[in-house]
Amino acid sequence: MKRVLPFLVVLLALVLVQSPVDAQPLPAPSGVWTPDRGDGTYKNPILYADYSDPDVIRVGDDYYMTSSSFSHFPGLPILHSKDLVNWSIIGHAAPRYPVDEFAEPQHGKAIWAPALRYHNGEFSIYVGDPDRGIFMTKSKDPAGPWDQLRLIRKVTGWIDPCPLWDDDGNAYLVHAFANSRVGIKSILAVNRMNKEGTQILDDGIVVFVGHKTHPTIEGPKFYKRNGYYYIFAPAGGVKPGWQTVLRSKNVFGPYEDKIVLEQGKSSVNGPHQGSWVVTQTGEDWFVHFQDRYAYGRIVHLQPMRWELDWPVMGVDQDGNGIGEPVASFKKPNVGKTYPLQVPQTSDEFDSASLGLQWQWEANFQSRWFSTDARKGWLRLYSQQMSASSGNLWNVASLMLQKMPAPSFTATARLEMIPQSIGERAGLVVFGMDYASITIEKSDEGYRVVQSVCAKAERGSPEEPKATALVSSPSIFFRVMVRPEHEKEIVPNILCSFSYSVDGKEYTTLGKEFVAREGQWVGAKVGVFTLAGANANRLGFTDFDWFRIEAAGGEKP
């Protein structure tokens, strides 16, 4: 009987995976990406957006997620779900970074992989800054406000921290090392902390070295189950890697290791780095990311079970104990059914605050914008570029959000009120290569310009590719985004820009642009208003709305 049970479990899992693919989903609200199929199943990814290094916990009947945000603020987004499939953004744990340097863009720095925990009635997040040390923040309410990030260990090269409170109340912290900062990688260490988790008490003990079998092991998450200490940690590199699990009866090891999730025959490259969560009905699930290049690190949900005190994730197609990602599956059993929901994208600018989907390229200034200067509009005040800026790479005042789906359109209605020649405002798809469509005040009047910058991170100049004269600074801009070949792991993401003077007929301007990721993040889409370095007076631009729609033009 013991030999038959594992086979039956695998067979049942295969049935559950395959049957939803052929099932006819019930009608569901339209959206640019809706993972809930409306028939009791879901499709992966559950978030087709760049929520890198996701960590998820359950508190009662609620699920909360945070992710890396690097130098984009507000940072440490907090997402909420009732069923692990339908998510919305409810706040940010790091509105600003407590370092003066972050008044300017610091691409790829600051908030690396975080860990979200709930202990003694408080939520806490631990995060490693590879250049400064280990930070933490706490809150009674996950939606905020959160305490300002607090440096609890000043050190270089420690990253990806995760705490564990043991059964006796003692606290520990596991972390990895950033090779780019200290020349060390593929090593995990455990430190003692005080019971409150607010102080790291020692220099730590190395508990695992993965150079031979699990190179680039990092992103550890700390758990305890059935007397075993578990460290869930990705290895093999971000794009081609796998999920490793370590276990030991002693918190300081020695640890056994096992690969529990890999790409296998699936189309999901590098399935790893995330978190284990248990539903209120006792089901086990694993949330992780997949790096889709310019789309960023999108989030998947895998069913999980335990066998001989080892987790098996996804579906074990070959019976070797190593799971592979599922394309679709039966939704988690959370005791009841909840309405469909997707993270915010469109913004009508009717609120006193910006939508939670927006981030700036650095610590933002309140003087950059106003939500009440013109009722129902967002006013962006023109920011002056420095004389040395040849492109937007080091501009802090770009207001951007994550790409939300493989295909979508983003449209903005705006009115520019310039005060100087050369002022411009518009729509941008931003990464290490970027493209924009803007309206600009020129000696000839107003003109629409479609521009491209290749290798912006190297200081390359922005180049206008196409222009058109218009009679008014009131205009509509649109970008249509689609993959050239949808099933490719590394797709060319094609972006086509257009404009309209009446909001009805759109004219394409310039050639299709191939989007490129940013520094450790996916490409982003958003708006900006700028003036030249020699401008004596600065104007502003009013945005009536910004709308993300499905590829066919349906509103999400």
DSSP 44-94: S-SB-S---S-EEEEETTEEEEE---BT-BSEEEEEEESSSSSEEEEEEEE
CA angle 408, 273, 53 (to 5 degrees): 55
Residue 131 lies in a domain: yes
pLDDT at 488: 75
Distance CA 334, CA 169 (A): 29
In a shared domain, residues 314 and 372: no
DSSP state, residue 294: G
CA distances in angstroms from 14 to 10, 46, 330, 436, listed in the order given: 6, 20, 11, 46
Phi–psi pair at 180, nearest 5 degrees: -65, -20
Range of the domain at 165: 4-330
In a shared domain, residues 293 and 391: no
Q: Which two tokens stand for residue 395?
A: 């501009």
Of the candidates 83, 218, 440, 544, the residue annotated as catalytic is: 218
DSSP state, residue 120: T
Of the candidates 36, 53, 129, 549, the residue annotated as catalytic is: 53
Q: 188-197: which pairs have CB atoms within 8 A and are 24 or more residues apart? A: 188/217, 188/218, 188/220, 188/231, 188/233, 188/246, 190/251, 190/252, 190/253, 193/163, 195/165, 195/169, 195/170, 195/171, 196/171, 197/119, 197/124, 197/126, 197/136, 197/163, 197/165, 197/171, 197/173
In a shared domain, residues 409 and 511: yes
Residue 345 lies in a domain: no
Residues forming beta bridges with residue 500, ordered by sequence position: 476
Residue 352 lies in a domain: no
Residue 555 lies in a domain: no
pLDDT at 13: 38
In a shared domain, residues 294 and 399: no
Q: Which two tokens stand for residue 210?
A: 């993965």
Evaluate if pTM is beyond 0.95: no
pLDDT at 17: 37
In a shared domain, residues 541 and 455: yes
In a shared domain, residues 175 and 313: yes
Q: Is the Cβ–Cβ distance between 42 and 302 less than 8 Å?
A: no
pLDDT at 533: 86
In a shared domain, residues 271 and 227: yes
Give the CATH number for residue 133.
Answer: 2.115.10.20
Residue 288 lies in a domain: yes
pLDDT at 489: 74
pLDDT tens for 455-473 read: 999 999 999 999 999 999 9
Q: Give Dmax over CA atoms of the chain in angstroms.
A: 84
DSSP state, residue 347: B
Distance CA 351, CA 545 (A): 11
In a shared domain, residues 106 and 220: yes
Other Cβ atoms within 10 Å of 223 Cβ, number: 17
Phi–psi pair at 387, nearest 5 degrees: -65, -25
In a shared domain, residues 323 and 465: no
In a shared domain, residues 388 and 528: yes
DSSP state, residue 528: E
pLDDT at 486: 73
Q: Identify the segments of the chain with pLDDT beneath 50.
A: 1-30, 553-556
Residue 415 falls in the annotated catalytic set: no
Closest CA to 245 of 280, 288, 282, 205: 288
């709930």: which residue's tokens? 118
Residue 517 falls in the annotated catalytic set: no
The strand ranges marked E within 314-368 are 328-330, 359-360
399 contact partners, CB below 8 Å, separation of at least 6: 354, 358, 359, 360, 369, 380, 526, 527, 528
In a shared domain, residues 307 and 186: yes
pLDDT at 318: 83
Distance CA 261, CA 9 (A): 17
Distance CA 377, CA 399 (A): 15
| Tally of domains in the chain | 2
pLDDT at 552: 57
Residue after which a domain boundary falls, among 330, 345, 378: 330
Q: 190-193: which pairs have CB atoms within 8 A and are 24 or more residues apart? A: 190/251, 190/252, 190/253, 193/163
375-394: burial string, b at 16+ Cβ within 10 Å, e else: eebbbbbbbbbeeebebbbb
Give the CATH number for residue 441.
Answer: 2.60.120.200
Residue 340 lies in a domain: no
Distance CA 319, CA 328 (A): 20
- Distance between start and end Cα atoms, the chain: 50
In a shared domain, residues 253 and 110: yes
